Structure 1
Amino acid sequence: MGVVYLAALLLSLSCMLLLDWRFRLFFWRDAVSAAVVTTVGLVFFLLWDVAGIANGIFFRGEGAIASGLLLAPELPIEEPVFLVFLVVCTMVIYTGSARVISRRRARRRDEAEAS
């Protein structure tokens, strides 16, 4: 039962990537830019976590669903997977929202020009 959280994170990330693939929103739109954004986001949030851990702000909670594997003191293996999920999820929502807004504006503009 110790890898439930990690498995759930990987499943959630897979679902986000499937949405991305279906609608060509992030990685399947521009893989190089998406990789750069994801890497920069991951590094930023990992540095944030390390700073929080070093200052005694962040602690690893004990949980039956966590694997218990640590990359560093107070930094479980699930954390970078969660951070990648966070960045990918944010970018899929952002690019999807931008596409919806853009299409609505174009449709309104077309309707206004037709009347």
Structure 2
Amino acid sequence: MPGLYLLVIVVSAAGVALLDARHRLALWARPLTTAIAVFVGTAFFVVWDLVGIAAGVFVQGDSPLYLGIELAPHLPLEEITFLLFLCYLAAVCAGAGTRLLARKEPR
């Protein structure tokens, strides 16, 4: 089923965004800081992927779950979407961890 992998990433990101909105952990607490962190992190991993592709370490698998849209050779649309999701998830987890640690500190 083409596009299923992309759909799963988007649905997962929506779930994380709902948690973020409810608890104000990252984007909803600090929108500019979170956006910068997510885009810088994503850019880092895209460069990492491009270096790996150029070195022949990373290759795109052949899966019926991909849409088939390549942004560069061996770099499917789903990879960029996944990297955005990964960086956003890391920001939300960092916000949650910071909040939990702040609760544990004696007053």
Same fold (TM over 0.5): yes
Q: Which runs of 4+ in 1 moved over 3 A?
A: none
> Counterpart of 2:86?
86
SS of the residue 2:71 aligns to: strand
Identity %: 36
Q: Is residue 7 of structure 2 the alignment partner of residue 7 of structure 1?
A: yes
C-alpha RMSD of the superposition: 0.8
SS of the residue 1:71 aligns to: strand
Aligned residues: 107
- 1:38-77 map, 5 Å: 38-77=38-77
Structure 1 portions without partners, runs of 5+? 111-115
What is the TM-score normalised by the length of structure 1? 0.90
Please state how far the C-alpha of 1:94 moved relative to its aligned partner.
1.2
Please tell me whether Structure 1 or Structure 2 has the larger radius of gyration of its CA atoms: 1
Q: Is residue 16 of structure 2 the alignment partner of residue 16 of structure 1?
A: yes
Q: Is residue 25 of structure 2 the alignment partner of residue 29 of structure 1?
A: no
What is the TM-score normalised by the length of structure 2? 0.96
Structure 2 portions without partners, runs of 5+? none
